């Protein structure tokens, strides 16, 4: 039987159901199955940031995988969070690790991995994998 969301699951969620604006605020709701290891996977092909040197756009596929402990990331807040990097000048390696650090701080997961596969520019493609283990 599927458990419905509990009233307090929505407590603290301030972005869901509101107009969308970029935000560095990651929101979460309670994990109803903390005694079980299971993997949550979130993916997007629409991540953008800009080269800190040239200001040219960089595009990436981002894949986030994690084993939740007590919290699960709310997907709209993640979308707005990723959107907040759109005009930020940052190296691929740094932004991937910042995303991982922010997810770990917000969720305190048992395990988390962020993979960023950046589109080829100048003949070189870059893929960055950053991982956290509790």
In three-state secondary structure terms, 89 is strand
E strand spans, 1-134: 28-30, 40-50, 57-67, 71-73, 111-121, 124-133
Quote the tokens at residue 61. 């596929």
Q: Which of 9, 51, 69, 102 is catalytic?
A: 51
Q: In the annotation, is 49 catalytic?
A: no
102 is catalytic: no
Scan for tokens 């993640």, then name that residue: 78
Catalytically active residues are 51, 58
């Amino acid at each position: 039987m599927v458990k419905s969301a509990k009233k307090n699951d929505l407590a603290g969620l301030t972005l869901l159901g509101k107009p969308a604006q970029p935000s560095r605020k990651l929101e979460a709701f309670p994990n109803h199955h903390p005694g079980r290891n299971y993997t949550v996977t979130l993916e997007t092909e629409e991540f953008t940031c800009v080269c800190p040197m040239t200001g040219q756009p960089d595009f990436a596929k981002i894949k986030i995988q994690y084993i939740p402990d007590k919290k699960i990331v709310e997907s709209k807040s993640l979308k707005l969070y990723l959107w907040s990097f759109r005009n930020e000048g940052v190296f691929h390696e740094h932004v991937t690790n910042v995303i991982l650090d922010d997810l770990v701080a917000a969720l305190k997961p048992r395990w988390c991995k962020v993979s960023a596969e950046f589109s080829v520019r100048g003949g070189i493609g870059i893929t960055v994998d950053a991982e956290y283990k509790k």
